[in-house]
Amino acid sequence: MDVNVKIINGNWHAGYTLDKHVKSSVFIGDNQYGHPDFDTVRTDVGEAMYQLKYKNDRKKIPLLVDAFIENLKSKLSSVGFIVPMPPSKRRVFQPLTELAKEIAKKMDVPLCENILIKKVRTPQMKDIESIKEKIKVLATAFSIKDEIVGEDCWDVLLIDDIYGSGTSLNAAALTLKTYSKVNNIYVVAFTRKR
């Protein structure tokens, strides 16, 4: 799988994306329901994420996990546990959680999927255009559930599926920084909008 790793900046120690989500998207007219239709060409990572998230193609999980491990594992060697971003939309099958589980196995670190809690239901961030509005919605959206036994402090990897403005990841990282058992925060999103 071809990737184009890029550094993303925010209120974390280091952050990365594997590639852009979309190479090009051209408006081709309205569909039969009157909605805009596009001819979209995605990157390898973008297409795999699209197929996994929207077409429920679980065969894409090993491809995405392998791309992650091959390109980012060496940059994340100090990570003590992994936290997936809490979902905005409830699904029976949560693609990001499944990816995070497999990455945790490959990195031989625990997955802590219940530490970062979304305490209020929020709209999907892709549906909110204004960064100010996103910040307002997310300002108090997250909380911490203390599930780590002991007093040690760990580096954590926060994983998301797509990086847009960074508002969600920044809000989540701010919340994780309040947890006494978190040291450095690393962030990875599989794809980025730009």
Kindly report, residue by residue over 172-189, the tens digit of the pLDDT: 998 999 999 999 999 999
pLDDT at 150: 81
Q: Which band of pLDDT confidence, cut at 50, 70 and 90, is reported for residue 18?
A: very high
- Taking a C-beta distance cutoff of 8 angstroms, is the pair 49, 63 a contact? no
Q: Is residue 30 part of a domain?
A: no
**pLDDT at residue 171 above 70?**
yes
Q: Is residue 149 part of a domain?
A: yes
3-state secondary structure at position 153:
coil
Q: Is residue 157 part of a domain?
A: yes
Q: How many domains does the chain have?
A: 1
User: What CATH number is associated with residue 81?
Assistant: 3.40.50
The predicted model gives 19-41 an average pLDDT of 93
Domain extent at residue 49: 6-25+36-192
pLDDT at 89: 72
User: Which is more confident, 123 or 86?
Assistant: 86
Q: Is residue 70 part of a domain?
A: yes
Positive or negative, the CA dihedral 188, 68, 85, 101 is negative
Rounded distance, CA 85 to CA 118, Å? 9
pLDDT at 124: 67
Q: Tell me which residue of 48, 191, 172 sits closest to 112, measured CA to CA.
A: 172
- In degrees, rounded to 5, the angle at the alpha carbon of residue 38 between the alpha carbons of residues 37 and 40 is 150
- Taking a C-beta distance cutoff of 8 angstroms, is the pair 88, 123 a contact? yes
pLDDT digit string, tens, across residues 57-81: 999 999 999 999 999 999 999 999 9
Q: Is residue 1 part of a domain?
A: no
Q: Is residue 31 part of a domain?
A: no
Q: Which band of pLDDT confidence, cut at 50, 70 and 90, is reported for residue 143?
A: confident
Q: Is residue 183 part of a domain?
A: yes
